[in-house]
Structure 1
Amino acid sequence: MPQRRVITGRSQEPRRRFAEELRALRAEKGVSLRQVGERVGWDWSLFGKMEKGETLGGPEVVQALDTYYGTPGLLLALWELAAGDHTQFRERYRRYMALEAEAVSLWHFAVSVLPGLLQTPGYAREVLAAGGLKGDELEQQVEARMGRRELLAGEEAPPFRTILSEAVLRTPLRDAGEWRGQLEYLAEVGEGPNVSVQVLLQSAGMHGLMGFEVWYLQLPDASTVVYTENGYRGELIEATAPVLRLQRAYDALRDLALSPAESRKFILRTLEEVPCDPST
Structure 2
Amino acid sequence: MPPRRAVTGRSQEPRQRFVEELRLLRAQKGDSLRQLGDVLGWDWSLFGKMEAGQTLGSPEVAQALDQHYGTKDLLLTLWELAAGDPKQFKERYRRYMTLEAEALSLWHFGVSVLPGTLQTDGYAHVVLAASGTKGEELQRQVEARMGRREVLMGDDAPPFRTILSEAVLRTSLEDAEQWRTQLENLAEAAERPNLTLHVLPHGSEPHGLVSTDVMFLRLLDGRTVAYTENAHRGELIEETSSVERLQRAYDAVRDLALSPAESRKFVMRMLEEVPCERST
Q: Same fold (TM over 0.5)?
A: yes
Contact 1:110–1:165 (CA under 8 A) maintained in structure 2: yes
Q: Return the letter of the residue paired with 2:182.
A: Q
User: Per-residue deviation at 1:205?
Assistant: 2.3
SS at match of 2:192: coil
Contact 2:117–2:149 (CA under 8 A) maintained in structure 1: yes
Q: Return the letter of the residue paired with 1:112.
A: S
Contact 2:204–2:256 (CA under 8 A) maintained in structure 1: yes
Contact 1:212–1:230 (CA under 8 A) maintained in structure 2: yes
Going from structure 1 to structure 2, the CA distance change for 1:223 and 1:141 (only over 3 Å counts) comes to same
Q: Return the letter of the residue paired with 2:123.
A: Y
Partner of 1:138: 138
User: Per-residue deviation at 1:131?
Assistant: 1.6
SS at match of 2:198: strand
Q: Return the letter of the residue paired with 2:210.
A: M
- Greater Cα offset, 166-175 or 203-212: 203-212
Asked whether 1:94 is paired with 2:94, we answer yes
Q: TM-score normalised to the size of structure 1?
A: 0.68
Q: TM-score normalised to the size of structure 2?
A: 0.68
SS at match of 1:202: coil
SS at match of 1:150: helix
C-alpha distance in 2 between matches for 1:86 and 1:134: 17
Asked whether 1:169 is paired with 2:188, we answer no
Contact 2:183–2:271 (CA under 8 A) maintained in structure 1: yes
Contact 2:161–2:196 (CA under 8 A) maintained in structure 1: yes
> Pairwise mapping of residues 2-41 of structure 1 onto structure 2 (< 5 A)?
none
Partner of 2:263: 263
Summarize deviations over 1:204-263 as a string: whole Å, max 9, x none.
Answer: 120111101101000011110011125874211111111111111111111100011100
SS at match of 1:91: helix
C-alpha distance in 1 between matches for 2:118 and 2:229: 18
Partner of 2:59: none
User: Per-residue deviation at 1:183?
Assistant: 0.4
Q: Return the letter of the residue paired with 1:131.
A: S
Q: Cα RMSD between the aligned structures?
A: 1.7
Contact 2:84–2:233 (CA under 8 A) maintained in structure 1: no
Structure 1 unaligned blocks of 5 or more: 1-80
Partner of 1:249: 249
Structure 2 unaligned blocks of 5 or more: 1-80
C-alpha distance in 2 between matches for 1:151 and 1:113: 19
SS at match of 1:173: coil
Which has the bigger relative contact order, CA under 8 A and spacing at least 6? 1
Partner of 2:33: none
C-alpha distance in 2 between matches for 1:231 and 1:134: 17
User: Per-residue deviation at 1:136?
Assistant: 2.4
C-alpha distance in 2 between matches for 1:138 and 1:113: 17
Partner of 1:112: 112
C-alpha distance in 1 between matches for 2:129 and 2:150: 23
C-alpha distance in 1 between matches for 2:246 and 2:234: 15
Partner of 1:224: 224
Contact 2:121–2:146 (CA under 8 A) maintained in structure 1: yes
Q: Which 4+ stretches in 1 moved above 6 angstroms?
A: none
Report the structure number with the largest CA radius of gyration. 2
C-alpha distance in 2 between matches for 1:187 and 1:231: 26
Going from structure 1 to structure 2, the CA distance change for 1:128 and 1:216 (only over 3 Å counts) comes to same
Partner of 2:277: 277
Going from structure 1 to structure 2, the CA distance change for 1:178 and 1:214 (only over 3 Å counts) comes to same
C-alpha distance in 2 between matches for 1:264 and 1:188: 9
